[in-house]
Amino acid sequence: MWPTEWPAIPRKIADATDDALTAVRGTDSSALSDALDDLAKLPNPQVSGVHAGIVRELLETLHPDGLTSDDVHAVLERTARGAIGWLPHLDVSAVADVLTGALGVSDPDDETPKRARTAYLQAAVLVIADLAATAHIPTTDYIKRAIAEIARAETVEMP
């Protein structure tokens, strides 16, 4: 499913993210926990960067004319309400951190140490799943583009 030229780490990020999103869509807390454990074993900056890229692009897809604070609040509310029934220990502040980090209002790497990394990872995949469900689109291409963008940015030489 993923490009064969990808190195091992991006492939693992893509696989674990896809597994986590599948678990969210199926409200399978055990499978989600397993996928989050897999994501937590991978380098945080790369995982956070991929997830932030996916969230940003999905927000742009849903709000091509611009994003308002009401739009962000709606995502936060939908995500929390949709998950709290099957994830009763959801850290709603982590959902807010995912959104502000993806929008560049805060640095997701600065937020992660303030709580368990898995809380942040869980919030990220919940936001991605909510946005994709709202837009009625699959996430595979968004995962591919986010990883490709990071790879492109890492190969560009600084002046």
Residue 32 contacts residue 123 (beta carbons within 8 Å): no
Give this prediction's pTM: 0.91
Question: Which residue, 41, 43, 60, 70, is CA-closest to 147?
Answer: 43
Amino acid occupying residue 57: E
Question: Which residue, 115, 127, 55, is CA-closest to 91?
Answer: 115
> For 100-123, how does the pLDDT look when each residue is reduced to its tens digit (9 = 90+)?
999 988 655 554 455 688 999 999
What DSSP string runs through 106-148? Answer: S-HHHHGGGS-HHHHHHHHHHHHHHHHHHHT--SHHHHHHHHH
> For 18-49, how does the pLDDT look when each residue is reduced to its tens digit (9 = 90+)?
999 999 999 999 999 999 999 999 999 999 99
